Amino acid sequence: MAAIILLESSSVMLAPWHGLSARIQGNIRNPVFEEVHGEDLWSFGPANPSHNKLFNEAMACDARVVVPAVIESCIEVFKGLDTVVDVGTGNGTALCLLVEEYDRVENVGGDMFDYVPKADAVIIKWVLHDWEDDECISILKKCREAIPEDKGKVIIIEAVIDEKDEKEDSELTNVRLMLDMVMMAHTNTGKERTLKEWGYVLDDGP
Ligand SMILES: C[S@@+](CC[C@H](N)C(=O)[O-])C[C@H]1O[C@@H](n2cnc3c(N)ncnc32)[C@H](O)[C@@H]1O
């Protein structure tokens, strides 16, 4: 938890929020993170190792909460698979947690828009929400190419915004809206999606 607070309260991550109003009003042409830092979050990280380290630690905090629950609910899905690739892995925490349960997982660097290594299954966690629909579809096509026709699986871990909950003001509504705003502040084209919006990405994809 500490790493998430340190990351989100860092000057790097706070600065884009100050440009969000201007961006929404159409007074800034570039996405705010790029406007403030001169490059997008994914280029900024490798060029700024201390920020990158903190970012990966924050992602690891999240993974420690989310991945065990995913493994528990996906145990049947993982059965019969020999190899798994974690796409957009960061420092590989999701993968490490998976490895504890599953001993044939591959961690390979590279640009997911170019190539996803071949495996029986691809796991992609909290990556697609960083990208717009066409970019998601491109990534998913690479994932699809990486897995075998017969037993291949693409396992996507993402939030789903429930339109009904929004109207009903559920306690999770603010969390979902907050995540959506984080995407606006920190990524160029990212957004959280409703089931219908995920359906579009998945149906038009692989
Ligand atoms: C929100 S983080 C999620 C990290 C990890 N999957 C997790 O859940 O902890 C998004 C990740 O996508 C990676 N990423 C961004 N652009 C990428 C690209 N073109 N190819 C591969 N990974 C990329 C970033 O480095 C970052 O680690």
Calculate the CA 150 to chain-centre distance: 26
Q: pLDDT band at residue 165, thresholds of 50, 70 and 90?
A: low
- Helices of type H across 38-109: 41-47, 49-78, 93-101
Q: Is 129 a catalytic residue?
A: yes
Ligand 1 centroid to 87 CA: how many Å?
Answer: 7
For a mutational test of ligand 1's pocket, the pick from 55, 127, 186, i.e. the residue with the most ligand atoms closer than 8 A to its C-beta, is 127
β-pairing, 121-125 vs 193-194, is unpaired
Q: Pick the residue whose CA is nearest to atom 15 on ligand 1.
A: 42
* pLDDT reported for residue 20: 94
Kindly tell me if the per-residue pLDDT of 104 is higher than 80: no
Q: Is the dihedral of CA 195, 72, 155, 126 positive or negative?
A: positive
Q: How many domains does the chain have?
A: 1
User: What does DSSP say about strands 105-106 and 121-125: parallel, antiparallel, or unpaired?
Assistant: unpaired
pLDDT (tens digit per residue) in 58-91? 888 776 676 677 767 777 777 777 888 889 887 6
The residue nearest atom 10 of ligand 1, judged by CA position, is: 127
What is the CATH classification number for the domain harbouring 61? 3.40.50.150
Q: Which ligand 1 atom sits closest to the C-alpha of 45?
A: 25
Q: How far apart are the first and last CA of the chain?
A: 35
CA of 36 to the centre of ligand 1 (A): 21
Minimal-distance CA residue to ligand 1 atom 11? 88
Mean pLDDT is lowest, of 17-26, 100-109, 112-121, for 100-109
Q: Considering only CA atoms, which residue is closest to atom 19 of ligand 1?
A: 111
Q: Is 39 marked active-site?
A: no
Span from the CA of 88 to the centroid of ligand 1 (angstroms): 3
Task: Kindly state if the Cβ of 41 falls inside 6 Å of ligand 1.
Answer: no
Which pLDDT does position 166 carry in this prediction?
A: 55
Cα separation of 38 and 40, whole Å? Answer: 7
What is the whole-number distance in angstroms between the Cα of residue 128 and the centre of ligand 1?
Answer: 9
Q: Is 158 in the active site? A: yes
Query: Average pLDDT of the chain?
Result: 86
**Domain interval for residue 97:** 2-204
Q: Report the distance separating Cα 72 and Cα 103, nearest Å.
A: 16
* Cβ pair 33, 185 in contact under 8 A: yes
Which pLDDT score, from 0 to 100, does residue 110 have? Answer: 84
Mean pLDDT of all residues in 10-32: 95
Confidence of residue 16 (pLDDT cuts 50, 70, 90): very high
Mapped onto helix, strand or coil, the DSSP state of residue 194 is strand
Mean pLDDT of the region 117-122: 91
Yes or no: say if 30 and 40 are a contact pair by the CB < 8 Å rule.
no
User: Closest ligand 1 atom to the C-alpha of 93?
Assistant: 9
Confidence of residue 36 (pLDDT cuts 50, 70, 90): very high
